[in-house]
Amino acid sequence: MIRLPKILIQVPGTSANLGPGFDLMGLALDLHNQFEFNFSKEITESKTELKNGKPLPFSEKEDLVHQSYLSYFKKFLPSVTPPPYHCKMSLSLPLKGGLGSSASAIVAGLSLAREVHKRLEPTSVPTEPEFTQYLAEFEGHPDNTLPAYLGGFVFAYSTFGERLRYFRKKFPSSVAIFVLTPEFHVSTEESRKTLPKSYATADVIFNLSRIGAWMHFLDKRKFGDLLVGLEDKMHTPYRIPKSSPLFPLAETFAKAGIGYCLSGSGPSLLVFLERKSVKTKQAELEKTVSLVMGEAKIPYSFKRVKPDGFGVRIQFK
């Protein structure tokens, strides 16, 4: 048996959709989940625990790190029994907060399996296109897993069994990003049920034009293009209806020329300001958020974040 090192994997959080890019666009953020994996001959079955000693916030069946780890071996190394590990996690991403906690677990599990594969049978390790294809297929759509793996802004698609296609860009430093995370959970599966089964042609064209505005923003770095690019008619109106506690904030942001979008299916929001206006607008922005969340009696966190340009980080000890 080959001796395996301690493997440390850090995966950034992600925000998917980014307004009009439903299941297509995602951005890595400098919020991270960390996973520490230990292997030894004394370990006979895999075990996952939190580094702080608290109980796991999910069941063994919901352990996506282990599920994806086993899945990799079934796909790429079926003749080998996956070596068991002990994993200690440090979680900074909220579960079901729309910030890619599930994607971070999948990226960690698949990345771990590939590192083990390199040491067991280095001649049969999948190519990078094969690995990223499987990474996209595991979750069903790549707008969370690809940014978590690659870092930066990623436009990616893989539909109807076709091969994965994507491109990656650096998010402009001229824009400041804030994350608002209300303390209530939204199930992605339940949230998708609120979406219509079909859309009006005009709404589809609207969203296509806004994706074009996103591309122009990434090229020219003008905040006005981002404000247009964040507009959406395919999922935001259904996930932030008038009955939502987030609706008053969305209206306020729109009137004040502040960019915002749901992070994934929510409830977290990304909020965007021109970096040069942060000093004059941040205090008012925080006051507005505090007022609306206070009236709704919803605890929340609100903080400034940066894009993560590195993606998954792997260390060995």
Residues annotated in a binding site for ATP:
94-104
Please state the φ and ψ torsions of residue 185, each to the nearest 5 degrees.
Answer: -100, 145
Judge contact between 267 and 98, C-beta under 8 A. yes
**What whole-number distance in Å separates Cα of residue 86 and Cα of residue 204?**
47
Spatial separation of the C-alpha atoms in residues 264 and 99, rounded to whole Å? 7
Binding residues, as ranges, are 94-104
Q: What are 101's two structure tokens?
A: 């906690």
Instruction: Quote the longest CA-to-CA distance of the chain.
Output: 63
Strands (E), 74-222: 86-90, 153-157, 165-169, 175-182
Q: Is 121 exposed, middle or buried (0-12, 13-18, 19+ CB in 10 A)?
A: middle
Question: Which among 35, 8, 156 has a CA at the least distance from the CA of 106?
Answer: 35
Backbone dihedral angles phi then psi of residue 260, each to the nearest 5 degrees: -155, 160
The answer to whether residues 6 and 317 touch, using CB atoms and an 8 Å cutoff, is: yes
CA distances from 203 to 206, 224, 231, 234, 251 (A): 5, 21, 11, 7, 20
Looking at residue 212, its amino acid is G
Q: Specify the amino acid at residue 154.
A: V
Cβ atoms of 245 and 297 closer than 8 Å: no
